[in-house]
Amino acid sequence: YDLRNEDLKDLQELGQGNGGSVKKVEHIPTGKIMAKKIVLIDAKPAVRKQILRELQIMHDCHSKYIISFWGAFLADPNICMCIEFMDKGSLDGIYKKIGPIEIDVVGKVALAVLEGLTYLYDVHRIIHRDIKPSNILCNSQGEIKICDFGVSGELINSIADTFVGTSTYMSPERIQGAQYTVKSDVWSLGISLIELALGRFPFSESLSDDSDLSDFEGTLSPARPGSMGSLAALGLPPSRSKANKGATSKKDKRKSKGVSLQGGGMTMSILELLQHIVNEPAPRLMGFPEEAEAFVDSCLLKDPEKRKTPKDLLNDEWIVYARTSTIDLEAWASTI
């Protein structure tokens, strides 16, 4: 597709994230329905062009577990990416609508994400960096695919310069400033799977009575990859005050070196959550089939040395079972 903004007709708002918004659009010349992601980037034109070049790698990503890429263009001051439209949306929206997701479907999700991660890493040496339910999409054919992976180093840097997304799916080693590896994605997968099976974010109980912790935007900066440093080095006091809520513009908040969390009417310290992830035992899945629990435990090994890679996990007992499972995802998707 030769994509131009003028050829895209907005049909529906699909959602808003930290870095921009996503719309369902029609490409008028072809009638193709797409999802258009608008990313707000505070970067120089040269950097923007570089990002656009780097995004072209997505044209070479072909896997049934990865969202297809239709093209990207600059629409000053934004970068627009057109990707495959998934009519059932993301898994966070799905469980918030229908409640906890049955464990056999969660098994299929785990399989799809591991396949997608293995493909990205083995074929393109890409590490996803942002596995979470909102980046796992589903359609009415029952297909499950991952999106929003870190193809463009410049884009990762630009976003890191302005804001970092919710960091609550971050692995302990990542929080402590270690190098990001494919195993960090495995941790994020483990947290996501618990969230889907329980129908709530796993850390929501340990920290606060406010159950909707998954919705807050934890902003931790500066965060150029690898430069985050240790928690101790951050040396930031927990920001519990509600006083500054609404007092600063969004941009000020992003740029501030502090840490702030706001969501569903609450402001609390992300440090508490990050410290919890580093210091306390990992959350566990309980009351589910043994193989599912064991798989999640292996994703959530706190020592990255002991944690397996996505490729190795494809041989896990539960995943092998999920592969052979005859559960009808198309029928499941029709219930959403």
Q: Which of 52, 86, 126, 231 binds ligand ATP (CB under 6 A)?
A: 86
Write out the two tokens for 89: 């949306």
Counting runs of H as helices and runs of E as strands, what totals does the chain give?
A: 14, 10
> By CB under 5 A, is residue 188 in contact with Mg ion?
no
Place of tokens 């890409």: 126
Write out the two tokens for 136: 């796992």
Residues 26-45 binding ligand ATP (CB under 6 A) are: 35
User: Which residues participate in catalysis according to the annotation?
Assistant: 130
Burial class (CB within 10 angstroms; exposed 0-12, middle 13-18, buried 19+) of 68: middle
In a 13 Å sphere around the CA of 157, the CA atoms on its Cβ side amount to 10
Picked from Mg ion, ligand ATP, none, the partner binding residue 164 (CB below 5 to 8 A depending on kind) is none
308 annotated as belonging to a binding site for a ligand: no
Smallest gap from Cβ 114 to Mg ion, in A, equals 19
Residues 286-325 binding ligand ATP (CB under 6 A) are: none
User: What would you measure as the largest C-alpha separation in the chain, in angstroms?
Assistant: 55
Write out the two tokens for 315: 């041989």
Residues 242-281 binding ligand ATP (CB under 6 A) are: none
> By CB under 5 A, is residue 92 in contact with Mg ion?
no
Contact 116, 145 (CB under 8 A): yes
Q: Please tell me the count of residues contacting Mg ion according to CB under 5 A.
A: 2
Q: Which of 3, 8, 22, 146 binds ligand ATP (CB under 6 A)?
A: 22
Q: Which of 7, 15, 225, 267 binds ligand ATP (CB under 6 A)?
A: 15
Residues 129-188 binding ligand ATP (CB under 6 A) are: 130, 134-135, 137, 147-148, 165-166
Window of 68-76, 79-87, 153-161, 265-273 that interacts with ligand ATP by CB under 6 A: 79-87
Going by C-alpha positions, the residue among 76, 69, 288 that lies closest to residue 196 is: 288
> By CB under 5 A, is residue 192 in contact with Mg ion?
no
DSSP string computed for 188-229: HHHHHHHHHHHTS-TTHHHH-S-S-GGGSEEEE----TT---
Q: Which of 3, 8, 25, 67 binds ligand ATP (CB under 6 A)?
A: 67
Window of 44-52, 133-141, 192-200, 254-262 that interacts with Mg ion by CB under 5 A: 133-141
Residue 285, CA distances (Å) to 294, 296, 297, 303, 328 in order: 9, 7, 8, 18, 24
Residues paired with 138 in a beta bridge: 144
Residues 137-156 binding Mg ion (CB under 5 A) are: 148
Cα–Cα distance, 178 to 92 (Å, whole number): 28
Give the residue nearest to ligand ATP (CB).
17
Smallest gap from Cβ 13 to ligand ATP, in A, equals 9
Smallest gap from Cβ 236 to Mg ion, in A, equals 27
Annotated binding residues for ATP = 37
Give residues in contact with ligand ATP (CB under 6 A).
14-20, 22, 35, 67, 83-86, 89-90, 93, 130, 134-135, 137, 147-148, 165-166
Give residues in contact with Mg ion (CB under 5 A).
135, 148
